[in-house]
Structure 1
Amino acid sequence: MNTTASNLKILVIDDSNTIRRSAEIFLKAGKHDVILAEDGFDALSKVSDFSPDLIFCDILMPRLDGYQTCAIIKRNARFSGVPIVMLSSKDGVFDKARGRMVGAQDYLTKPFTKDQLLKAVEQFGAPAGGATP
């Protein structure tokens, strides 16, 4: 059976409760399972427990920033193939380049719209080996 980009497990990592809740509402409207983490440390245990299909990760967070979080996830062989889309309130070329250096697939500027978020899910959330419609 060929699966489409629906019913994915998506982890949203952001220290802003507003951003986490917005992302959760948008992603659940797209019929996805959503896991929320408030910082990088919280995210690392949830990645291990839930094995998400796609991760949205804020860049500016306390304790462990988005770049560090992304790099740690990508270094783990079990999760190195999981697409990560960085989230930031800055739309800087340097931030985008640094995100790619640590293994991020793309970059979304906050505040994002429901359409932008679901488009990123469609683009990066296709199951491994599965064809996108």
Structure 2
Amino acid sequence: MEQHSNALRVMVIDDSKTIRRTAETLLKNVGCDVITAIDGFDALARIVDHHPHIIFVDIMMPRLDGYQTCALVKNNPAFKSIPVIMLSSKDGLFDKAKGRIVGVDQFLTKPFSKEELLGAIKAYVPGFAAVEQAH
């Protein structure tokens, strides 16, 4: 997949409209295409349609939570290489351990800063720093 032909596609899955909007604004300001979803079910079809470069997902969501969503992404050969960053309002050891089991790449505690959000992308998406510099 060629990274420079399109903007970086970032998916944000959270049942909080505030979190989705905040992340979307921060990411669009640095030139990312942002795909949002309100829960795991909503996200799965969008992942297939948009094939994001990185996914941010909340733990606590109705219908399909962050752990289940991450497990489905990581168990699908077409999507298992997509980095999944878990968003959590609590910084617990149990949550992190459970997240590692299902394949979470990193955790961010809410509320997160712009630097934390962009730092996670830089850590997992090669070439993102260069794209960010252009904006």
Give TM-score, length-normalised by structure 1: 0.90
Matched, 1:43 2:54: no
2:78 alignment counterpart: 78
Superposed, which structure 2 residues align to 1:1-133 within 5 Å? 7-126=7-126
Q: Matches of 1:16 and 1:125 in 2, distance apart?
A: 25
Structure with bigger RCO (C-alpha 8 Å, 6+ apart): 1
Q: Matches of 2:15 and 2:68 in 1, distance apart?
A: 15
User: What are the ranges of 5 or more consecutive residues in structure 1 without an aligned counterpart?
Assistant: none
The CA deviation string for residues 84-124 of structure 1, in whole angstroms up to 9 with x for no partner, is 00001000111111111101100000010111101111111
Q: CA deviation at 1:3?
A: 5.3
| Shift in CA distance, 114/76, structure 1 to aligned 2, threshold 3 Å | same
Q: Tell me which amino acid in the other structure corresponds to 1:60.
A: M
2:133 alignment counterpart: none
Q: Tell me which amino acid in the other structure corresponds to 1:91.
A: D
Q: Matches of 1:3 and 1:103 in 2, distance apart?
A: 23
Q: Matches of 1:43 and 1:126 in 2, distance apart?
A: 23
Q: Matches of 1:126 and 1:84 in 2, distance apart?
A: 15
User: What are the ranges of 5 or more consecutive residues in structure 2 without an aligned counterpart?
Assistant: 131-135
Identity of aligned residues (%): 54
Aligned partners of 1:87 and 1:108 also within 8 Å: yes
Question: How many residues are matched?
Answer: 128
Give TM-score, length-normalised by structure 2: 0.89
Partner-residue secondary structure (3-state), 2:35? strand
Partner-residue secondary structure (3-state), 1:119? helix
Q: Matches of 1:3 and 1:65 in 2, distance apart?
A: 29
Q: Matches of 2:97 and 2:32 in 1, distance apart?
A: 29
Aligned partners of 1:39 and 1:61 also within 8 Å: yes
Q: Matches of 1:123 and 1:74 in 2, distance apart?
A: 18
Aligned partners of 1:58 and 1:66 also within 8 Å: yes
Q: CA deviation at 1:61?
A: 0.2
Aligned partners of 1:57 and 1:85 also within 8 Å: yes
Partner-residue secondary structure (3-state), 1:98? helix
Q: CA deviation at 1:33?
A: 0.7
